[in-house]
Chains A and B, each alone.
Chain A
Amino acid sequence: MNKIDQALTEFREMDELADQDSPVHHFPALVKLPLTVIYILTVLSFHKYDLSGLFVMILFPLFFFQLGGISVRRCLYRLRYVLPLVMAVGILNPLFDRSVLLRIGNVNISGGWISMLTLMMKGVFSLMASYLLVASSGIGRICAALRRLHVPAVLVTLLLLTYRYVTVMSEEAAVMTDAYHLRAPKQKGIEYSAWGSFLGQLLLRSMDRADEIWQAMQLRGYHGHFHYVGETPASLKDWLTGILLAGLFVFCRCWNVTALLGSLFV
């Protein structure tokens, strides 16, 4: 399976996940979106050495993953995109920060190792939160929530249209790539002599297609904005749940819950 086919599969997976039926899916995206942002901000605000304080934050996404019936494994598979740069930056921390911060028995653990682990955790938790938002809402409900949050209609419409055409264009690019590789099976990528014409042809066809789309949109009465369907309106109960959860995030940020739990048994 080539890279484009894999991307298409992942798109379809996300759409299927968003169509599932669970309390997490029913929870309005209008509340979920700011809640996700608060969660990520809370996670990012933990001090680089506050490993134990940060660790408790894993429980929130895990709980909602299970409640929503969403696979954590599939989510962690996405780490391949986000982890390389985080790794590249974090892996050098133990080399530069050698001050001993923690001692377990005879083993000294330097600040660099702690900050590296904290960095990785922040990366994983943030990814889990945004994945949960998309997997339980889908692009339609997220765009509707963005409009309710007064994000300009041009940008939201553009996002929806692009999302729609990303799959169409990717399918076309996948067919072209397959055809090219069938004719040149030993080649790893597109040879330099075809660099321009390969994508150029796709681009020219795209431009013609865009004209047709615009005409079709006008014929169907497009007048500057889309009507969104399927978004559950946010009730007072939803907002209260959101505020409660945000309060819990802040509580975990202000008090080291992990250490508090441990102190119960010490």
Chain B
Amino acid sequence: MHMADALLSPAVAATMYVASGSAAAYSISKLKKDDEQSKLPVMAVSAAMVFAGQMINYTIPGTGSSGHLCGGMLLSALLGPYAGFLSMITVLTIQCLFFADGGLMALGANIWNMAFYGCFVGYFLIWKPIMGSSLFGAKDDHNAERLRIILASILGCVVTLQLGAFSVVLETTLSGIAELPFSAFAGLMLPIHLAIGLVEGLITAAVLTFVYEARPELLQCVGAAAKTGSKMSLKQTITVLAVITCLVGGGLSLYASSNPDGLEWALFGNADGGYAQNMGLNEEEFGISSQAAETASAIQETTSFLPDYAFKDNDSAAGTTVSGLLGSAIVAAAAVLICMAGGFFRKKKTA
């Protein structure tokens, strides 16, 4: 689910950097406040372990394919949301810098999609309330606690992966990169990630139950640590999750309607229904033929470089097309020359 640089516009990439940066700054301040500098090596080693663990293939029974570990949920269950989030940032940064897994500009978006949801949403809305509840039995009941770990892991991975996949679709659409309609893109991404989330949830649950059996004190909100209690009851959590689901689901069904341009429909309503039920915008002022659009297009024309292209049935631009193609050939020749010169000088140096 790693986003690439090419899928984001500079504005969306910068926005996601600000969002992830704010969450990171808050996590750092929480860590400093709790004076948890001693957690640094644990965070680093856990992040390294997740990095290595994500490269191990786990066979999915009955299928020929394999699944991987869900890092965000595992780290937040082990280290808590703040330390877990920072550890996930380092995992994603190393993947980005050394393996080109996600781009440098897309790092902010990747941190948000994979670390923020996994560590904050997964911990505060799923792990903590479920582990603090008396679901499946009493709090000190060993089997009930195991079941709670399994449920929280699976639910956490499924929900956070769905949110992450939805964000990928939203960020790409807002960047105006893909021609693929929002509804079709979401319809492709979400079901795939539902299956992936389920498998990742099972793997994470298996690892966390093993840790619970061997060293329960390592897990957050388990045993003695859980006695502090959750600020949010399970019922409240389910309500919050239901509201989020309705909002996301509602938004999706809106976009997934038969209307080919869901975003425009959402903004301007439709002609039959009038503009009374829309978001308060009317097409005359904000639509394609509005004054705002004309001003925007005037600005675009002065800054746009597209007119250099030759459009169909536009003979005056034919010359520009030729110069564009010829220029491309010159650039390609220059690129080859640079490579050849590099090779020549290196040979000379080694000779």
Contact = CB atoms under 8 A, between A and B. Distances in A.
B326 A265 contact: yes
Interface in A73-124: 78-79, 81-83, 85-86, 89-90, 92-93, 95-97, 100-104, 108, 112, 115, 119-120, 122-123
Contacts of A173: 52-53, 55-56
B103 A40 contact: yes
Contacts of B38: 214
Interface of A: 3-4, 7, 10-11, 14, 36-37, 40-41, 43-50, 52-53, 55-56, 58-59, 62-63, 65-67, 69, 72, 78-79, 81-83, 85-86, 89-90, 92-93, 95-97, 100-104, 108, 112, 115, 119-120, 122-123, 126-127, 129-131, 133-134, 139, 142, 152, 154-155, 157-159, 161-166, 168-170, 172-173, 177, 187-192, 195-204, 206-207, 209-211, 213-214, 217, 224, 254-263, 265-266
A6 to B, nearest CB: 9
Contacts of A260: 323, 327
B56 A198 contact: yes
A48 B176 contact: yes
B328 A258 contact: yes
A81 B99 contact: yes
B2 interface: yes
Interface of B: 2-10, 13, 24-25, 28, 31-32, 37-38, 40-49, 51-53, 55-61, 64, 66, 69, 78, 86-87, 89-91, 93-94, 96-105, 172, 176-181, 185, 202-203, 206-211, 214-215, 218, 304-306, 308-312, 319-332, 334-335, 338-339, 341-343, 345-346
Contacts of B2: 81-82, 85
Main secondary structure on B side of the interface with A: helix
A134 B98 contact: yes
Contacts of B57: 3, 188-190
B6 A86 contact: yes
A177 to B, nearest CB: 6
Contacts of B180: 89, 92-93, 96
B331 A56 contact: yes
A200 B327 contact: no
A191 B209 CA distance: 16
Contact of B45 (A36, A65, A190, A207): A207
Contact of B331 (A67, A129, A261): A261
A265 B31 CA distance: 63
Given A45-B10, A189-B66, A259-B320, A79 B100 contact: yes
A169 B325 contact: no
Contacts of B51: 162, 166, 169-170
Given A11-B98, A123-B5, A190 B24 contact: no
B55 A224 contact: no
A97 B32 CA distance: 51
A165 B48 contact: yes
Contacts of A102: 309-311, 321
Nearest to A7: B55
A209 B45 contact: yes
A87 B55 CA distance: 23
Contact of B178 (A7, A93, A158, A263): A93
B53 A159 contact: no
29 contacts: A4-B55, A11-B98, A37-B104, A44-B8, A63-B338, A81-B2, A82-B4, A82-B102, A85-B3, A86-B6, A90-B178, A93-B178, A104-B321, A119-B177, A154-B32, A155-B86, A158-B86, A159-B93, A161-B43, A162-B94, A166-B48, A169-B45, A173-B56, A195-B203, A199-B56, A206-B46, A211-B42, A255-B305, A259-B323
B6 A262 contact: no
Contact of A41 (B10, B52, B178, B343): B10
* B13, B96, B97 — most chain A CB neighbours (10 Å): B97
A224 B61 contact: no
Nearest to A192: B61
A256 B99 contact: no
A179 to B, nearest CB: 12
Contacts of B202: 192, 195
Given A47-B305, A161-B41, A213-B45, A62 B338 contact: yes
Contacts of A191: 59
Given A65-B342, A162-B43, A199-B207, 4 more contacts: A89-B172, A89-B180, A104-B325, A120-B6
B322 A126 contact: no
Contacts of B6: 44, 86, 90, 119-120, 122-123, 126
A259 B44 CA distance: 50
- Give the most central of A79, A92, A217, A258: most B CB within 10 Å: A258
A64 to B, nearest CB: 10
Contact of B104 (A11, A36, A204, A209): A36
B211 A203 contact: yes
Contact of B44 (A58, A72, A133, A162): A162
Nearest to B68: A189
Contacts of B341: 66
Contacts of B8: 44
A66 B5 contact: no
B97 A207 contact: no
B5 A258 contact: no
